[in-house]
Amino acid sequence: MSAGPWYVELFASEQYLDIMSHQDDEVNRRQAGFVAQALGVPPGSAILDLACGNGRIAVELARMGYRVTGYDLSSVLLDAARRRASAAGVDLELVHGDMRELPYAGKFDGVVSFFTSFGYFDEQENQLVLERAGRALVTGGRLLLDVINRDYLVARHQPHFWREDDRIILLEKRELDLATSRSRATWVVLDKRAGWARREYRVDVRCYSAHELTAMLRQVGLEPLAWYGDSEGGPFGRESPRLMVVAGRA
Ligand SMILES: C[S@@+](CC[C@H](N)C(=O)[O-])C[C@H]1O[C@@H](n2cnc3c(N)ncnc32)[C@H](O)[C@@H]1O
């Protein structure tokens, strides 16, 4: 039985925490360092981690001295973020909500949408999320968006992928729909600690080219200021799997 759209079903599953357990503290620290640098806002500033998930970036930003709000639809992941913040001894404001209904205006020095947390809806609703994210910024604030690079995917699409760790085996079957620029996948997860129990999830994400994001940002009064191709600050190009853009009010 389906529990709603794919992004509700996948992220409401406790198993998602196992699927992502390879993102260790070292990875999270490095990526949060990149986020802070790319946003270019000093410690003490207010940062919104939009779709913060289990808080892996939000907690590291809080450790660095930022005032961090994590916003997410998944109560399971928000609970995990709460546990992570408490273990790290940092303050984190955690808010449950849908990014299409983000309520803030002129509140944050930086807004970050990290690790493919954008592009889940139809064209209009994805644009609406951008509008809401832009509205949440103070004058002079910065937005960092990290998505799959569509131009890379077109050339390097891998229809099958798998990975294994001590908890799970993940098998992915992926299709790239060129007409809609959506990457659609089925994930089959085998749980080693539950007698190899098998679960299936769907993923359906809009992938973007730089010119499209530029047009979408401009539509909400934001201007791209910098592009990156990875969270080491490497260059964006057709050889970079990621597309990361920093934008500010034009
Ligand atoms: C791929 S995860 C990334 C999480 C986090 N940014 C990170 O870097 O680990 C995507 C996140 O988007 C959240 N999400 C999905 N749909 C959402 C919605 N409609 N509104 C707010 N958050 C949503 C999920 O719950 C999940 O935490």
Tell how strand 137-148 and strand 160-164 pair up.
unpaired
Please report the atom of ligand 1 found closest to the CA of residue 116.
Answer: 1
Look at the pTM and tell me if it is higher than 0.95: yes
Residues 197 and 223 in one domain: no
Residues 54 and 160 in one domain: no
Q: Is residue 16 part of a domain?
A: yes
Residue 44, CB-side half-sphere exposure with 13 Å CA sphere: 1
Residue stretches of the chain with pLDDT short of 50: none
Which residue has its alpha carbon closest to ligand 1 atom 9?
53
Residues 38 and 105 in one domain: yes
Instruction: Determine contact, residues 206/119, Cβ cutoff 8 Å.
Output: yes
Residues 131 and 167 in one domain: no
pLDDT of residue 2: 62
Q: Does the CB atom of residue 73 touch ligand 1 within 6 A? A: yes
Residues 85 and 183 in one domain: no
Residues 72 and 89 in one domain: yes
Please report the atom of ligand 1 found closest to the CA of residue 77.
Answer: 27
Q: Is 89 left (phi over 0), alpha (psi -120 to 50) or beta?
A: left
Q: Measure CA 218 to chain center.
A: 21
Cβ burial of 124 (10 Å; 0-12, 13-18, 19+) is: exposed
Residues 168 and 237 in one domain: no
pLDDT of residue 22: 86
What CATH number does residue 12 fall under? 3.40.50.150
Which structural domain, as residue segments, surrounds residue 214? 6-148+209-249
Residues 112 and 193 in one domain: no
What CATH number does residue 171 fall under? 2.20.25
pLDDT digits (tens, 9 = 90+) for 115-134: 999 999 999 999 999 999 99
Q: Does the CB atom of residue 57 touch ligand 1 within 6 A? A: yes
Residue 180, CB-side half-sphere exposure with 13 Å CA sphere: 14
Residues 215 and 195 in one domain: no
Q: Does the CB atom of residue 151 touch ligand 1 within 6 A? A: no
Q: Is residue 110 part of a domain?
A: yes
| Distance, CA of 171 to CA of 137 (rounded, Å) | 39
Q: Is residue 1 part of a domain?
A: no
Residues 106 and 183 in one domain: no
Q: Does the CB atom of residue 117 touch ligand 1 within 6 A? A: yes
Helix (H, G, I), strand (E, B) or coil at 166: coil
Residues 187 and 227 in one domain: no
Domain count for the chain: 2
Q: Does the CB atom of residue 115 touch ligand 1 within 6 A? A: yes
Q: Does the CB atom of residue 114 touch ligand 1 within 6 A? A: yes
